[in-house]
Structure 1
Amino acid sequence: MGKVTMGVAVVGSAAVCAAAALIMRHRMRISNRCVTAADILKELEEKCATPASKLKQISDAMTVEMHAGLASEGGSKLKMLISYVDNLPTGEEQGVFYALDLGGTNFRVLRVQLTGKSSIECQEFAEVSIPPQLMVGDAETLFDYIAAELAKFVADESEKFQLLAGRQRELGFTFSFPVMQLSIDSGTLIRWTKGFSIEKMIGQDVVVHLAEAMKRQGVNMRVSALVNDTVGTLAGGRYGNKDVVAAVILGTGSNAAYVERAQAIPKWHGPPPKTGEMVINMEWGNFRSSHLPLTEYDNKLDSESLNPGEQIFEKMISGMYLGEILRRVLLRMAEDAALFGDTVPPKLKTQFILRTPEMSAMHHDTSPDLNVVGSKLKDVFDISDAPLPTRKIVVEICNIMATRGARLAAAGILGILKKTGRDTVRDGDIPDTVVAMDGGLYEHYTEYRHCLENTLHELLGDEVGKHVKLVLSTDGSGIGAALLAASHSQYV
């Protein structure tokens, strides 16, 4: 019995010692919480640093990849897709034209009445959410859903829209995913992005899928132009401003398009474009360089994504991912620095629960007690009564991630300007250059937008910078698609 009692005593003593050690470590962890959180924050800031010298290296790398992508198919991570748009709208187009803009978790349908005098007499649009299950289901179900909503929209066409006698309705289809364009009105899907994943559609003509769905839904309409959202934004911007030479989308995803000299496209083997120019869809979201300031959070997000190893640039700068990167940083701080107390909030472990609009709202919080930050933490993560120092840390992380994204986007634009010779004074001349911008991230995330604009001016310098403007083109991709449907109408 004595031995047994002694054994129990020894075990009990060991358990007490272990418990005491755990308590001591816990107390030490709590006492060092702020220091540890500060260390994590400092490390994040260092790894996300984007000094001008690094941004210029990134822009140079972008330009090199642009040359390679124009030289041959597969020559670069940048697809540099030929859009077959070699004549942008002139302003002389007339009639009623439709657009369908599919490029994220919502799609838009739009109609415009063109007067032939470089103006849009009237326009109407509707926005429809796509159920998440359709984004990963099958092609027929997705396109039937889209065509059914388009049918409802066409049925509501008012008398102020005058379809010219004897004409079939025509549509510009903005499909904002990587597509190998075969002509102005056909193209095969290369891969999905932005959370879509319908594998059987890869390699298939997206216009055929839409046309078949419209026929099933009783919609009598011809797809006159298949365009990427950036190509549509470029067309929409050029319609009202002849200085527009490029377009950038910063929304759920990100991409860029620009006007290139036909002679600078070695892989183009078709007839010479009438204008001597061709719009190139860069698919810049897939850009990657050793100079990009990637962190552990980026690498893990990428490895756990639907498309690991792809769209690295997009995952660092676009609206779909900024909030998720913020969540991952907060989770690390909760786990390693007890940022939100002894227990890690369960919802903090849910991927993509924090959207970029919530991040933007927290970043823009100017109240003394950061009340917006507190309410967002409560609404999204069920984190109640986060103290002010914690809220300040959240805002600082927002600033670090938004600043990195915006400055990288500016470096990308600089790469385009370098490729087209608009980044410096040449022969004593500085051309006025306008980049049409579209997307909710650019439009609504004010801190992001201002940082991007200021960074581009910083990189260009005062002399050139004052000749380069970024202009918001609200729904530019949809209007641009309708305009391209008009300029490529079967009746022209």
Structure 2
Amino acid sequence: MASLKRLIIDALKSLSRGRSFLQALLALWISPKSDPTKVKQTRKFQRAREEFLKEANELLLGPIGSNRFLRDEHSLIVPYNSDTNPNPDDPLLLLSKLLKEQFRQGLQNNPACMLPSYNHQLPGGHERGQHLAADIGGSTLRVGLVDLRGRETTDDDGNTIVHMDNYTIDKNVRLLAGADFFKWMAWKIETSVKKAIDAGHISRDGYESGDPMPMGLAWSFPLEQTSPNGGNICPMGKSFLACDGLVGQDLGATCNKVLQELKVKVEVVSIVNDSNATLLSSAYFNPSTRFGLILGTGVNIAAHLPVNLIGKSKFGNRPDSWYEQASHVMVNTELGMFGRDILPLTRWDKILKAGHERPDFQPLEHAVSGYYLGEVFRIALLEAIKTTGVLGGEVPPLMLEAYSMDTETMSLMVDGLHSGGKANQVFSQLYQLASDIPSNEDMRFMQQLAGYIAQRSASIVAASLFALWELKNEAEQNLVDELEPESPFSEETVVELQIERTTVGYTGSVLTYFPEYKETLQSYLDHVMLSAGHVLKDRRIELVPAKESSLIGAAVSLAGVMDEKERMRLDEKRTT
């Protein structure tokens, strides 16, 4: 009883170091240093490893039916379909239906998500020329000169980007408040332009004596878009203070004001969300693209959806001419905000949630994105060390620190037995373990546990994509049924319904680098399509990579705006 009292007192003391009570209590309970009498008890180990893994399988995958799939010993996890008949009671399909209803509600009136852009047309692949583009991400500002050469001359070697510079957005930059952040951004843009001039990619005389150089901007944060080059700044999150004092003000106007004040001869002419940029980039090369998926540190999906799905209030003040031209619009879903009260939570998810400063802000992101996958793995592994004797029953001190297990390390565990000992070595060095730890048995255990967590992530992303695909198709069918045959949107919508293979352009570290993740996600998409009664040879959702998507997408958007301006100029000239 005395030792339990001491444990609780120590846990309460640790609150001053920023942990939640549950995190602190869990860490002290599991740590072999917390109570010597507990160490002796854990040497007996209450559970067999196989029993722990069986429960982990049920907790993580059982509620969505994924534990019925077989694992291939040579890859991450490969879903196995023994039955290709429709199954309306499939748990993953049922989860997708629940997500679809949340998406439908968000499209009607939620101001924080399902944000329609100003872009209503996807690129035709004819857009050409060199265009300056910038991508503001959570950790990096990238500035590049993009050479668009047309869909028919796609360069697979990545030479589409003529010049590019990367600038780290560290803690000091994130803490730049208001206009100070945009001044930092303007200085970096000017630096990149001057480098491109020195390299001969931009004419010095043309830049110095001509009009400001047009630039497309990919903005990785929520934005209430009001025009092709403007939108109301929203709270940014991720510790950024750039929005301080600027929430509700126009992003394009703010950028251009700072650029002018600092005499940087660049003008923001086009703005897109980074997920929309991924959609645009993929659609430029693949005309069947209707979704853009980002899955790295965070998660998001952009979707090209019928306007009739979206509540009028979501569009803000737009001219009647916009509605006369738009049957569809690109939507930034802010996917991570969904899933509340419908995603099954394990006890490890609940510990993560209890220690989070905004536990209900992004429920789906907590379950699928790279920032959180490693943390769920760490919490579950701590329990396994104490109860099963993994890693000799000794908890490495570093592993007691929240978020000390990143997803890159977790991915090594998944591929550990096939990496020639690299995973063992990296893990041992990171957590300062003895030379014989982790053993091959430890690696197999961690591989299986990490695989379950990754598999759950892939299945939830698949359910989300399918829900959006169904929403799109249902709304288009309703539109065809309601429109008159002579309506300008009727033929366009019928063409949309006839797309057999809908492409999802993807980018992000989890999809790109996590072993077999992309293949697992594709398998789940095929599975849920079959469960819903779609024959794969007729309809399929297909993942394709979108390389350098943010910069290329921003350039494609800029090219479209410039083409439209040129058309308007020529029309005005003909009229006069």
Shorter-normalised TM range? 0.7 to 0.9
Q: State the partner residue of 2:190.
A: 151
Q: State the partner residue of 1:178.
A: 222
**Residue 349 of structure 2 is aligned to residue 280 of structure 1:** no
The alpha-carbon distance between structure 1 residues 203 and 355, as it changes in their structure 2 partners (threshold 3 A), is farther
Q: Among the aligned pairs, what percent are the same residue?
A: 24
Which residue identity does 1:274 align to in structure 2?
Q
- Consecutive unaligned residues in structure 2, runs of 5 or more: 1-34, 67-89, 481-493, 567-576
The alpha carbon displacement at 1:371 in A equals 2.1
- Residue of structure 1 aligned with 2:522, choices 426, 443, 453: 453
After superposition, residues 191-270 of structure 1 pair within 5 angstroms as 191-194=235-238, 196=240, 200=244, 202-215=247-260, 217-267=262-312, 268=315, 270=318
After superposition, residues 21-36 of structure 1 pair within 5 angstroms as 26-32=39-45, 35=48
The alpha carbon displacement at 1:341 in A equals 4.1
Contact 2:151 2:284 survives alignment (8 Å): no
Distance between the aligned counterparts of 1:482 and 1:81, measured in 2?
Answer: 21
Deviations 1:163-222 (A, max 9, x none): 799553111111111222222222233333455466725444443443344345542111
**Residue 471 of structure 2 is aligned to residue 471 of structure 1:** no
The alpha carbon displacement at 1:126 in A equals 2.4
Deviations 1:341-392 (A, max 9, x none): 4653211122222221221122122349x72332232232222322222222
The alpha-carbon distance between structure 1 residues 151 and 451, as it changes in their structure 2 partners (threshold 3 A), is same
Q: State the partner residue of 2:233.
A: 189
Distance between the aligned counterparts of 2:247 and 2:431, measured in 1?
Answer: 37
The alpha-carbon distance between structure 1 residues 26 and 435, as it changes in their structure 2 partners (threshold 3 A), is closer
Distance between the aligned counterparts of 1:176 and 1:338, measured in 2?
Answer: 43
SS at match of 2:325: coil
Q: State the partner residue of 1:294.
A: 345
Q: State the partner residue of 1:125.
A: 164
The alpha-carbon distance between structure 1 residues 243 and 161, as it changes in their structure 2 partners (threshold 3 A), is farther
Which residue identity does 1:254 align to in structure 2?
V
Distance between the aligned counterparts of 1:264 and 1:348, measured in 2?
Answer: 46
The alpha-carbon distance between structure 1 residues 66 and 172, as it changes in their structure 2 partners (threshold 3 A), is same
Distance between the aligned counterparts of 2:254 and 2:378, measured in 1?
Answer: 37
Q: State the partner residue of 2:448.
A: 396
The alpha-carbon distance between structure 1 residues 222 and 302, as it changes in their structure 2 partners (threshold 3 A), is farther
**Residue 558 of structure 2 is aligned to residue 485 of structure 1:** yes
After superposition, residues 82-101 of structure 1 pair within 5 angstroms as 82-101=116-135
Q: State the partner residue of 1:15.
A: none
Q: State the partner residue of 2:104.
A: 67
Contact 2:277 2:551 survives alignment (8 Å): yes
Distance between the aligned counterparts of 2:37 and 2:398, measured in 1?
Answer: 28
The alpha-carbon distance between structure 1 residues 367 and 432, as it changes in their structure 2 partners (threshold 3 A), is closer
Contact 1:262 1:273 survives alignment (8 Å): no
Which residue identity does 1:480 align to in structure 2?
G
The alpha-carbon distance between structure 1 residues 149 and 88, as it changes in their structure 2 partners (threshold 3 A), is same
- Residue of structure 1 aligned with 2:361, choices 310, 319, 337: 310
Which residue identity does 1:361 align to in structure 2?
L
Q: Give TM-score scaled by structure 2 length.
A: 0.73
Which residue identity does 1:403 align to in structure 2?
Q
Contact 2:526 2:540 survives alignment (8 Å): no
SS at match of 1:463: coil
Distance between the aligned counterparts of 1:72 and 1:80, measured in 2?
Answer: 9
Contact 2:178 2:243 survives alignment (8 Å): no
The alpha-carbon distance between structure 1 residues 259 and 383, as it changes in their structure 2 partners (threshold 3 A), is same
Which residue identity does 1:479 align to in structure 2?
I
Which residue identity does 2:413 align to in structure 1?
M
Distance between the aligned counterparts of 1:91 and 1:99, measured in 2?
Answer: 18
- Residue of structure 2 aligned with 1:348, choices 399, 404, 415: 399
Residues 318-327 or 87-96, more deviating = 87-96
The alpha-carbon distance between structure 1 residues 217 and 294, as it changes in their structure 2 partners (threshold 3 A), is farther
Distance between the aligned counterparts of 2:536 and 2:117, measured in 1?
Answer: 29
Which residue identity does 1:239 align to in structure 2?
Y
Distance between the aligned counterparts of 1:329 and 1:71, measured in 2?
Answer: 38
- Residue of structure 2 aligned with 1:44, choices 56, 63, 72: 56
Residues 451-460 or 181-190, more deviating = 181-190
The alpha-carbon distance between structure 1 residues 419 and 156, as it changes in their structure 2 partners (threshold 3 A), is same
Distance between the aligned counterparts of 1:148 and 1:275, measured in 2?
Answer: 37
Distance between the aligned counterparts of 1:460 and 1:423, measured in 2?
Answer: 18
- Residue of structure 2 aligned with 1:364, choices 415, 419, 427: 415
Q: State the partner residue of 1:9.
A: none
- Residue of structure 1 aligned with 2:142, choices 108, 111, 123: 108
Q: Give TM-score scaled by structure 1 length.
A: 0.85
The alpha carbon displacement at 1:480 in A equals 0.6
For the aligned residues, what is the CA RMSD? 3.2
After superposition, residues 369-384 of structure 1 pair within 5 angstroms as 371-384=421-434
Q: State the partner residue of 1:323.
A: 374
The alpha-carbon distance between structure 1 residues 273 and 80, as it changes in their structure 2 partners (threshold 3 A), is farther
Contact 2:417 2:444 survives alignment (8 Å): no
- Consecutive unaligned residues in structure 1, runs of 5 or more: 1-21
**Residue 207 of structure 2 is aligned to residue 168 of structure 1:** no
Aligned residues between the structures: 466
Contact 2:373 2:407 survives alignment (8 Å): yes
Which residue identity does 1:64 align to in structure 2?
E
Contact 2:340 2:363 survives alignment (8 Å): no
- Residue of structure 2 aligned with 1:57, choices 79, 94, 101: 94
Contact 1:423 1:464 survives alignment (8 Å): no
Residues 445-454 or 462-471, more deviating = 462-471
The alpha carbon displacement at 1:337 in A equals 4.9
Deviations 1:396-427 (A, max 9, x none): 12101110101111111111111112899999
The alpha carbon displacement at 1:253 in A equals 0.9
Which residue identity does 2:451 align to in structure 1?
N
The alpha-carbon distance between structure 1 residues 42 and 432, as it changes in their structure 2 partners (threshold 3 A), is closer
Distance between the aligned counterparts of 1:284 and 1:323, measured in 2?
Answer: 20
Which residue identity does 2:550 align to in structure 1?
S
Contact 1:322 1:356 survives alignment (8 Å): yes
Distance between the aligned counterparts of 1:221 and 1:241, measured in 2?
Answer: 30
Contact 2:507 2:546 survives alignment (8 Å): yes
The alpha carbon displacement at 1:451 in A equals 0.8
Distance between the aligned counterparts of 1:189 and 1:42, measured in 2?
Answer: 47
Distance between the aligned counterparts of 1:374 and 1:166, measured in 2?
Answer: 58
Distance between the aligned counterparts of 2:525 and 2:370, measured in 1?
Answer: 20
The alpha-carbon distance between structure 1 residues 337 and 212, as it changes in their structure 2 partners (threshold 3 A), is farther
SS at match of 2:390: coil
SS at match of 2:417: coil
Distance between the aligned counterparts of 1:97 and 1:438, measured in 2?
Answer: 21
The alpha-carbon distance between structure 1 residues 253 and 342, as it changes in their structure 2 partners (threshold 3 A), is closer
SS at match of 2:542: strand
The alpha carbon displacement at 1:258 in A equals 1.2
